[in-house]
């Protein structure tokens, strides 16, 4: 171990988990180019330069449109496995040991992929991710929230009838403002998923206010919340999140790129921490937002002056909030503690800014 390492070197060495990343949104430029060339004729560019321009978003609906176009390239079981393995490959140099990957079965259903074929592809890919890259993959099945009762039904059916071996959670994403129309269907789906032993990991408070966060808490039994950044306008909600330490999987660059926050320096992350809330750092749809898990650590360190101990605490929080086994959690936290302990030993009595 190199002692007295730079902040960048520390971030690279820091063992991490990624708790909020989407299957299609995780596709790096080389992976998307592989798929677009495998399935020519779509609106997704087949050249790198055009694809990078394609990934410039004006707002969240535009992002959703581009996301849908990339999703249309996932037509065969081989395409599903390509996405998972591409993510595993990309996570290795970032020090990410474990990821909970959000999969949208309804999207695969729409293009005619059988449940069993999708599940087999996910099983093969998680096995290969571990054996070839040393990255452990788990899955969260999520409902695309704007598609209503049919999407909830298909997602739940797949989760209960044909689950991949590494399925740990049940979620919902998409455009939050559309959810109230399907309130009962979504509550019912989450109730059934939880009864089957799946963890409740919905998005909430990304593009709408505290009312959506309350709904995922009260209506979906949320155990962890994707984003949650718009909680701060409701003091009662903030107090509840602080008291329960319900984890918020925060994705700063994503919030900037989709127009939820004007710039990284405007992100509410420091206020969330000041309020004593439980926060993890994640990448959401990393190549689409020109980021990575490690880049999120760098971005918040630069923007807010966070030091190594604060960054290490984000990493610990990710491990604690994950659905890893208790033994795996213990070992990863020991690694994080060993790294920070060795760093601290080089400068006894020194205190970093933002720590």
pLDDT band at 43 (very low <50, low <70, confident <90, very high): confident
Nearest to 26 by CA among 287, 252, 292: 287
Q: 264, 253 in Cβ contact below 8 A?
A: yes
Mean pLDDT of the chain: 92
Does domain 7-345 match CATH 2.40.10.10?
no
What local confidence, expressed as pLDDT, does residue 351 receive? 41
pLDDT in tens, 96-144: 999 999 999 999 998 899 999 999 999 999 999 999 999 999 999 999 9
Is the pLDDT assigned to residue 352 strictly greater than 60?
A: no
Share of the chain above pLDDT 70, in %: 95
Nearest to 69 by CA among 300, 288, 351: 288
Q: Where are the domains of the chain?
A: 7-345
Angle at alpha carbon of residue 239, lines to 238 and 244, rounded to 5°: 100
pLDDT band at 353 (very low <50, low <70, confident <90, very high): very low
Question: Beta partners for 144?
Answer: 173
- Torsion angle of alpha carbons 144, 150, 153, 159, nearest 10°? -40
pLDDT band at 67 (very low <50, low <70, confident <90, very high): confident
Q: What residue has token string 């474990």?
A: 98
Cβ contacts of 202 within 8 Å, gap of 6 or more:
142, 171, 172, 190, 216, 220, 222, 225, 226
SS (H, E, C) 12-48: HHCCEEEEEEECHHHCCHHHHHHHHHHCCCCCCCCCH
Q: 86, 30 in Cβ contact below 8 A?
A: yes
DSSP E strands: which ranges in the chain? 16-22, 96-103, 136-144, 167-173, 199-200, 203-204, 225-227, 248-250, 279-281
Angle at alpha carbon of residue 322, lines to 316 and 324, rounded to 5°: 105
Extract the tokens encoding 136. Answer: 């452990």
**Enzyme catalytic residues:** 206
Extract the tokens encoding 76. Answer: 């065969």
Coil vs helix vs strand at 168? strand
Q: What residue has token string 């309350």?
A: 214
Residue 229 to residue 227: CA distance in whole angstroms: 5
Q: What is the pTM of this model?
A: 0.91
Residue 337 to residue 343: CA distance in whole angstroms: 10
């Amino acid at each position: 171990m190199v002692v007295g390492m730079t902040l960048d070197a520390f971030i690279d060495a820091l063992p991490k988990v990624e708790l909020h990343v989407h299957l299609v949104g995780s596709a790096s430029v080389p992976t998307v180019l592989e798929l677009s060339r495998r399935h020519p004729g779509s609106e997704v560019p087949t050249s790198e330069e055009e694809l990078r321009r394609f990934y410039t978003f004006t707002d969240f609906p535009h992002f959703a449109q581009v996301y849908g176009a990339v999703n249309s390239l996932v037509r065969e079981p081989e395409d599903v496995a390509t996405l998972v393995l591409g993510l595993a490959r990309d996570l290795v140099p970032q020090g990410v040991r474990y990821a909970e990957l959000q999969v949208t079965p309804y999207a695969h259903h729409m293009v005619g992929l059988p449940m069993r074929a999708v599940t087999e592809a996910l099983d093969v890919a998680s096995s290969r991710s571990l054996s070839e890259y040393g990255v452990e993959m788990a899955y969260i099945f999520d409902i695309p929230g704007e598609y209503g009762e049919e999407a909830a039904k298909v997602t739940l059916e797949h989760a209960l009838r044909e689950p991949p071996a590494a399925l740990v959670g049940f979620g919902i994403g998409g455009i939050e403002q559309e959810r109230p129309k399907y309130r009962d269907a979504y509550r019912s789906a989450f109730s059934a998923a939880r009864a089957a032993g799946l963890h409740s990991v919905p998005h909430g408070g990304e593009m709408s206010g505290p009312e959506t966060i309350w709904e995922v808490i009260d209506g979906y039994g949320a155990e962890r919340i994707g984003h949650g950044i718009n909680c701060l306008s409701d003091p009662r909600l903030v107090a509840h999140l602080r008291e329960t330490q319900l984890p918020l999987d925060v994705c700063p660059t994503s919030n900037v790129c989709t127009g939820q926050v004007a710039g990284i320096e405007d992100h509410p992350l420091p206020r969330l921490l000041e309020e004593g809330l439980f926060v993890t750092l994640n990448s959401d749809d990393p190549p689409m937002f020109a980021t990575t898990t490690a880049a999120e650590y760098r971005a918040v360190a630069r923007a807010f002056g966070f030091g190594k101990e604060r960054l290490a605490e984000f990493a610990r929080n990710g491990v604690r909030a994950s659905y890893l086994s208790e033994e795996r959690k213990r070992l990863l936290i020991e690694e994080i503690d060993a790294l920070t302990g060795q760093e601290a030993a080089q400068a006894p009595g020194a205190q970093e800014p933002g720590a």
